[in-house]
């Protein structure tokens, strides 16, 4: 069977060659080493089957040695794992074709983290950075027949704790939950080049993994192979793209007269070629070419994210030595950071056009990274593009994501703000560690630089603000000023010298930003320059309405917490005794602790009413969170062009937990995500009370101006209309301005604010309808009547269509069914008086069970 497959592969290569004109195939061969692995605790004797790629926690789980780490309090009992060493081992044999090649490389796409690799008992690699890719020449160690590959993982705790002990001062790392790991105050995460969130975060458990977390393979090649292709877009506009295709080649001997070509795979057209004499070692060959009238890559909402496929071939004596295809979106993407009358701008300019960034901050989708399947990645990126986002920020406490993540972002027009992996900590960045960081940066900048989605590289998350503004510097200064000088010098070297040097050298067209948030070197961030993390609503306890006042040039973070919904809570906390936000289990799945629980409660009581029970609390918490973030997004968009971005914290969770996430660990959308979809639409119609006047802003992200009909009504909750206003309005391209303004008193005509809501409906000339409901006070001040909801259920392909009708205005109607996998076309929606809303629910449940478990909740009836 294997033999047939090999033959088939050779045949496919041969066909490829005919079309490229070369006569013989001598391309590299690859064998994945993912089979036959076993693992054991280093100091014990029992071996167990292992999965590669994988990590030790999931292998222990699969072998039933531990229980689900995410269930109830299980995380606590698993803290021994990171204090042990682990050994992984497999055997493999190479085919004769591979053995005959001149060069055999053992390649690990990722080793987490302190790993000694032995091939046939010879140590061939000592790895110390989970973010790097390791490639080792191993021809001399490979045997004919059976080979043994062993990876010895040193406990990251045992490796790094002595480094902490040896220092007279300590690097701050506020999210490292060392106490939960049994390490008291030893925050050792700063020493390891390993995902920060593994050590715990204010939304994440402490589960410090080890393992072969990305693919491992043997690559066999002779003569020459392509190491890397960089499609440098030197100049792009609608009429032409000037491109330099930099092809990096390894050669095992001098090869005269090699030919490097770049071909457009869609048309078969050779775009450019370059002859080169290759020298033994690493060679750089540049193939220049121009594309006239390129199909440009656009972000979601602005156009088609067109992708080209460029194939680089290297041939010598008509023999194809290697090929590599890159998918490339041609675009000019700049961050415009320049002085203006208010300070400094900070916005994306895509193909010459300013783009308002709409999106969220992204963390890894699981604590156990190899569990993130392509399906989960697809769901995650679709959950961005489906809600009209055009940007995700890959936050610095996680990982440089898998290629597939960026492929999806390319395909769906999601621009990526890419942090380097440093967050909320100071790092001992000098000597070997700094060099390690430089190599990590080179690996990842090179790996990701062809992705159209990469909008910028950012040095770290919050490290400068934390040092200057969170009291860290002052604390250390109390011990010794020399320590402060040392840490700051390391900081400047890392983020203002080393990392920007790497970006400049390896991705010269890409913008580098030293930290997020950032305005100026050595100063805390602000409202007039650069980007801002706005946390006064939430951490700072100010009212939600402050979102309407706060300004920034680019809001790269802000957020509001909620628990997962009840159906999700039941999966990790199934016992009724757990169903209290202060139960031991719920507290363990609330890493913001009592501070965060208290904030949810205080905001809830301030803005809403006291929920009658746990389930009602979860529901109201969702509405509260959704309303808060809707308020923020609308305010940020109204501020355009002063402000040009809004990325809420956070798009996803890595385990089931109370957090700022918009979608829970299981992928269920919270109210916030549905509300974001509407608030991120290409046109936003946003009412707002400014002083005594009610204004309505029309905000457009469209490329072209448009016009339509705007209706504004002040309605009582029973449907009677207090004020009705209609007008044709023009909505300009890429613009925000008020299209209606009137004294509120005139509109209310003596009706109390709590008796009405403001309804705006804009019908665009294209026919598309944009609507919004606005309240003239806090939700608890709205005198919502009890409402009668009726449903009508009709089977459709893959589920049911539920029509929900209401006799009066119904606020935040939530449909839930007892089904883990259900997907809703809409939820937490308002229904107009005597109106109805149709919702498609995708589920496998049979109709009787569906009807039985269908539950409707509505804010009116909870108050």
* Nearest approach, Cβ of residue 837 and ligand BMA (Å): 33
Question: Token pair 């309240």 is at which residue?
Answer: 775
Q: Does residue 462 belong to the site contacting ligand BMA (CB under 6 A)?
A: yes
Which secondary structure element, helix H or strand E, spans residue 535, and what is its range?
none
* Nearest approach, Cβ of residue 495 and ligand BMA (Å): 16
Q: Does residue 202 belong to the site contacting ligand BMA (CB under 6 A)?
A: yes
Buried b (16+ CB within 10 A) or exposed e, 190-202: bbbbbbbbbbbbb
Q: CB under 6 A: which stretch of 95-103, 200-208, 378-386, 433-441 binds ligand BMA? A: 200-208
735-743, strands of its sheet edge to edge = 683-690, 693-700, 735-743
Do residues 400 and 502 make contact, with C-beta atoms less than 8 angstroms apart? no
Q: Which position among 649, 740, 774, 829 is part of the footprint of ligand BMA (CB under 6 A)?
A: 649
| Residue 80 CB contacts under 8 Å (≥ 6 apart), including other chains | none
Q: Which residue, 201 or 356, has its beta carbon nearer to ligand BMA? A: 201
Q: Does residue 198 belong to the site contacting ligand BMA (CB under 6 A)?
A: no
Q: Does residue 419 belong to the site contacting ligand BMA (CB under 6 A)?
A: no
Q: Which residue, 533 or 553, has its beta carbon nearer to ligand BMA? A: 533
* Other Cβ atoms closer than 10 A to 331: 21
Measured distance CA(313)–CA(772) in Å, rounded? 55
Kindly state the number of chain residues that form the binding site for ligand BMA, as judged by CB under 6 A.
11
* Nearest approach, Cβ of residue 361 and ligand BMA (Å): 7
Q: Which residue, 189 or 734, has its beta carbon nearer to ligand BMA? A: 189
Which of 75, 109, 401, 462 does the annotation list as catalytic?
A: 462
Buried b (16+ CB within 10 A) or exposed e, 576-603: eebbebebebbbbbbbbeeebbebbbeb
Residue 551: alpha-carbon gap to chain centroid: 25
Q: Does residue 648 belong to the site contacting ligand BMA (CB under 6 A)?
A: no
Q: Which residue, 186 or 533, has its beta carbon nearer to ligand BMA? A: 533
* Nearest approach, Cβ of residue 49 and ligand BMA (Å): 36
* Nearest approach, Cβ of residue 611 and ligand BMA (Å): 24
Q: Which residue, 498 or 516, has its beta carbon nearer to ligand BMA? A: 516
Which secondary structure element, helix H or strand E, spans residue 834, and what is its range?
none
38-41, strands of its sheet edge to edge = 48-49, 38-41, 86-92, 147-153, 114-119, 122-128
Structure tokens, 192: 């390891």
Q: Which position among 127, 328, 424, 599 is part of the footprint of ligand BMA (CB under 6 A)?
A: 424
* Nearest approach, Cβ of residue 818 and ligand BMA (Å): 31
To the query of whether residue 265 is one of the catalytic residues in this protein, the response is no
Q: Which of 302, 336, 517 minimizes the C-alpha distance to 415?
A: 302
Q: Which position among 203, 579, 614, 717 is part of the footprint of ligand BMA (CB under 6 A)?
A: 203
Q: CB under 6 A: which stretch of 94-102, 195-203, 373-381, 836-844 binds ligand BMA? A: 195-203
Q: CB under 6 A: which stretch of 198-206, 543-551, 694-702, 722-730 binds ligand BMA? A: 198-206
Q: Does residue 59 belong to the site contacting ligand BMA (CB under 6 A)?
A: no
Q: Does residue 653 belong to the site contacting ligand BMA (CB under 6 A)?
A: no
* Nearest approach, Cβ of residue 387 and ligand BMA (Å): 20
Cis peptide before 42 (omega within 30 of 0): no
Measured distance CA(283)–CA(261) in Å, rounded? 15
Where does 516-592 have alpha helices with state H? 566-572, 584-588
Measured distance CA(263)–CA(778) in Å, rounded? 61
Q: Does residue 201 belong to the site contacting ligand BMA (CB under 6 A)?
A: yes
For residues 574-633, which are near ligand BMA according to CB under 6 A?
none
Q: Which position among 300, 461, 597, 860 is part of the footprint of ligand BMA (CB under 6 A)?
A: 461
Q: Which position among 557, 701, 830, 862 is part of the footprint of ligand BMA (CB under 6 A)?
A: 557
Q: Which residue, 596 or 841, has its beta carbon nearer to ligand BMA? A: 596
For the four alpha carbons of 132, 137, 143 and 144, in that order, the dihedral sign comes to positive
Q: Does residue 533 belong to the site contacting ligand BMA (CB under 6 A)?
A: yes
The radius of gyration of the chain from alpha carbons, rounded to an integer in Å, stands at 29
Q: What is the DSSP letter of 339?
A: B
Q: Which residues are tagged catalytic? A: 462
- Binding-site ranges for ligand BMA (CB under 6 A): 201-203, 423-424, 461-462, 533, 557, 649, 660
């Amino acid at each position: 069977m294997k033999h047939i497959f090999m033959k088939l592969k050779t045949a496919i290569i041969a066909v490829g060659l005919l079309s490229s004109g070369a006569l013989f195939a001598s391309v590299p061969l690859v064998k994945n080493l993912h089979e036959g692995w076993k693992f054991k605790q280093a100091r014990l004797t029992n071996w167990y089957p292992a999965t590669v790629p994988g990590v030790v926690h999931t292998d222990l789980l699969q072998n039933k040695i531990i229980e689900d780490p995410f269930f109830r309090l299980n995380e606590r009992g698993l803290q021994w794992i990171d204090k042990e060493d682990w050994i992984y081992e497999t055997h493999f044999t190479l085919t004769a074709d591979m053995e005959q090649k001149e060069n055999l490389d053992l390649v690990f796409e990722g080793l987490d983290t302190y790993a000694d690799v032995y091939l046939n008992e010879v140590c061939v690699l000592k790895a110390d950075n989970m973010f790097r890719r390791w490639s080792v020449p191993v021809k001399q160690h490979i045997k004919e027949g059976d080979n043994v590959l062993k990876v010895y993982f040193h406990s990251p705790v045992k490796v790094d704790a002595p480094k902490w002990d040896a220092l007279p001062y300590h690097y701050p790392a506020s999210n490292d939950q060392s106490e939960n790991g049994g390490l008291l105050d030893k925050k050792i995460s700063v020493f390891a080049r390993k995902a920060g969130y593994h050590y715990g975060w204010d939304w994440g458990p402490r589960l410090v993994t080890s393992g072969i977390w990305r693919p491992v393979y043997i690559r066999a090649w002779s003569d020459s192979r392509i190491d890397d292709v960089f499609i440098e877009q030197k100049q792009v506009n609608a009429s032409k793209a000037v491109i330099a295709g930099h092809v990096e080649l390894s050669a095992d001997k001098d090869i005269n007269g090699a030919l490097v070509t770049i071909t457009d795979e869609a048309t078969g057209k050779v775009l450019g070629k370059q002859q080169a004499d290759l020298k033994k070692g690493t060679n750089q060959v540049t193939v220049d070419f121009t594309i006239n009238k390129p199909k440009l890559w656009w972000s979601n909402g602005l156009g088609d994210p067109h992708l080209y496929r460029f194939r680089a071939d290297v041939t010598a004596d008509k023999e194809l030595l290697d090929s590599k295809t890159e998918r490339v979106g041609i675009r000019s993407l700049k961050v415009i950071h320049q002085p203006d009358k208010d300070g400094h701008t900070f916005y994306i300019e895509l193909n010459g056009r300013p783009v308002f960034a709409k999106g969220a901050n992204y963390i890894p989708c699981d604590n156990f990274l190899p569990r993130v399947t392509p399906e989960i990645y697809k769901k995650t990126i679709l959950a961005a593009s489906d809600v009209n986002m055009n940007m995700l920020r890959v936050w610095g406490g996680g990982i440089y994501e898998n290629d597939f993540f960026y492929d999806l972002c390319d395909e769906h027009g999601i621009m990526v703000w890419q942090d380097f992996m440093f967050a909320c900590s100071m790092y001992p960045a000098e000597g070997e560690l700094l060099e390690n960081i430089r190599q990590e940066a080179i690996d990842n900048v090179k790996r990701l630089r062809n992705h159209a989605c990469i909008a910028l590289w950012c040095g770290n998350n919050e490290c400068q603000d934390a040092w200057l503004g969170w009291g860290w510097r002052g604390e250390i200064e109390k011990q010794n000023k020399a320590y402060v000088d040392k840490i700051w010098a390391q900081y400047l070297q890392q983020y203002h010298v080393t990392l920007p040097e790497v970006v400049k050298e390896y991705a010269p067209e890409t913008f580098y930003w030293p930290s997020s948030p950032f305005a100026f070197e050595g100063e805390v961030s602000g409202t007039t320059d650069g980007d801002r993390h706005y946390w006064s609503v939430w951490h700072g306890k100010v009212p939600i309405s402050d979102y309407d006042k706060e300004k920034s040039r680019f809001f790269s973070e802000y957020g509001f917490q909620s628990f997962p919904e009840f159906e999700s809570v039941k999966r990790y906390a199934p016992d009724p005794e757990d169903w209290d936000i202060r139960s031991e289990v719920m507290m363990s799945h609330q890493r913001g602790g009592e501070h965060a629980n208290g904030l949810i409660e205080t905001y809830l009581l301030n803005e809403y009413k006291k929920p009658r029970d746990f389930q009602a609390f979860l529901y109201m918490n969702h509405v509260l969170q959704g309303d808060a973030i809707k308020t923020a997004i609308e305010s940020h968009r109204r501020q355009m062009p002063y402000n040009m971005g809004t990325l809420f914290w956070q798009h996803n969770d890595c385990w089931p937990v109370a957090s700022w996430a918009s979608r829970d660990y299981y992928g269920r959308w919270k109210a916030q995500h549905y509300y974001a979809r509407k608030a991120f639409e290409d046109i936003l119609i946003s009412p707002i009370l400014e002083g005594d006047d009610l204004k309505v802003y029309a905000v457009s992200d469209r490329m072209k101006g448009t016009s339509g009909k705007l209706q504004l009504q002040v309605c009582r909750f029973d449907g009677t209309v207090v004020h009705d206003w209609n007008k044709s309005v023009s909505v300009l391209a890429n613009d925000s301005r008020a299209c209606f303004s009137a004294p509120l008193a005139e509109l209310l005509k003596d009706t109390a604010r709590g008796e009405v809501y403001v309804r705006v409906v804009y019908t665009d000339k294209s026919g598309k309808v944009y609507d919004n409901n606005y309240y003239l006070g806090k939700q608890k001040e709205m005198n919502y009547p009890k409402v009668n909801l009726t449903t009508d259920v009709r089977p459709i392909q893959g589920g049911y269509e539920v029509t929900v009708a209401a006799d009066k205005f119904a606020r935040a109607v939530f449909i839930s069914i007892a089904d883990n996998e259900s997907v809703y076309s809409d939820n937490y929606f308002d229904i107009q008086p005597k109106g109805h809303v149709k919702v498609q629910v995708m589920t496998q449940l049979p109709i009787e069970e569906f009807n039985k478990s269908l539950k409707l909740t509505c804010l009116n009836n909870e108050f």
